[in-house]
Amino acid sequence: MSDLDRQIEQLKRCEPLKESEVKALCLKAMEILVEESNVQRVDAPVTICGDIHGQFYDMKELFKVGGDCPKTNYLFLGDFVDRGFYSVETFLLLLALKIRSIDRKQEVPHDGAMCDLLWSDPEEAVDGWGMSPRGAGYLFGGSVVTTFNHDNNIDYICRAHQLVMEGYKWMFNHQIVTVWSAPNYCYRCGNVAAILELDENLKREFRVFQAAPQEARGTPAKKPAPDYFL
């Protein structure tokens, strides 16, 4: 068994790695990320995942539903490690599994296109653009999505970053879909989670799953996130 395979199995048992191993994984991840562009090509078949928020055992449930790496080609849309009981372990396992993400050569700025891309949200009650309660980005309505998809020859937008109780949610006549992959978010919201599978012909299937059973979770590593994160 290689060192990487051993580390993956160790992390799956929620056992911490040595400090030297963590540094080596982070350095390897940096090598991969600096070689990638800001816009990364993703080929189908692919399984798209929304936020997992450091909910380590729920991420293991996700892999049970979607399949193990590298047999399944995953695209994680973000929010890997904040808030969950096992956020560090989740981050390290994603590194060890060599899941690639958006290029991180700089921090997200406080304004501008990258900031708006991260923080903007669709809203049924908005016509055009509106102010966002997040304090960054904007709210946008159906007319904005229709124009963007038409101008860019896009069938629909798949995004994450917002809790939806059913695991996924279509808006604006199936022009945009939110995928959420953290079941029972913050361990008290009661929602289910979902992943979106696209086959080689881009035929889509949503796979909905529940949170990992309590008896499989072990002892929490820290307190739940404060209510304002909900």
Of residues 117 and 71, more confidence is placed in 71
Topology of domain 3-229 in CATH is: Purple Acid Phosphatase; chain A, domain 2 (3.60.21)
Evaluate if residue 185 carries a pLDDT over 50. yes
CA nearest to 53, candidates 26, 22, 91, 96? 91
Evaluate if residue 49 carries a pLDDT over 70. yes
Of residues 206 and 37, more confidence is placed in 206
Q: Under 8 Å CB-to-CB from 170, ≥6 apart: which residues?
A: 176, 177
Q: Residue 181 in 3-state DSSP?
A: coil
- How confident is the prediction for the chain on average, in pLDDT? 84
Cβ–Cβ < 8 Å for 61, 207: no
CA nearest to 94, candidates 184, 160, 33? 33
Of residues 59 and 36, more confidence is placed in 59
Evaluate if residue 138 carries a pLDDT over 80. yes
CA–CA dist 209, 55 (Å, integer): 14
Q: Under 8 Å CB-to-CB from 224, ≥6 apart: which residues?
A: 85, 186, 187, 188
pLDDT of residue 99: 38
- Residue 180: exposure state from Cβ atoms within 10 A (0-12, 13-18, ≥19): buried
Tell me the angle at which helices 19-34 and 3-12 cross, rounded to the nearest 10 degrees.
110
This prediction has a pTM of 0.82
Give yes or no for a cis peptide into 70 (omega within 30° of 0). yes
In the chain, where are the structural domains located?
3-229
The phi, psi pair for 221, rounded to 5°, reads: -80, -20
CA–CA dist 230, 186 (Å, integer): 8
SS (H, E, C) 81-148: CCCCCCHHHHHHHHHHCCCCCCCCCCCCCCCCHHHHHHHCEECCCCCCEEECCCCCCEEECHHHHHHH
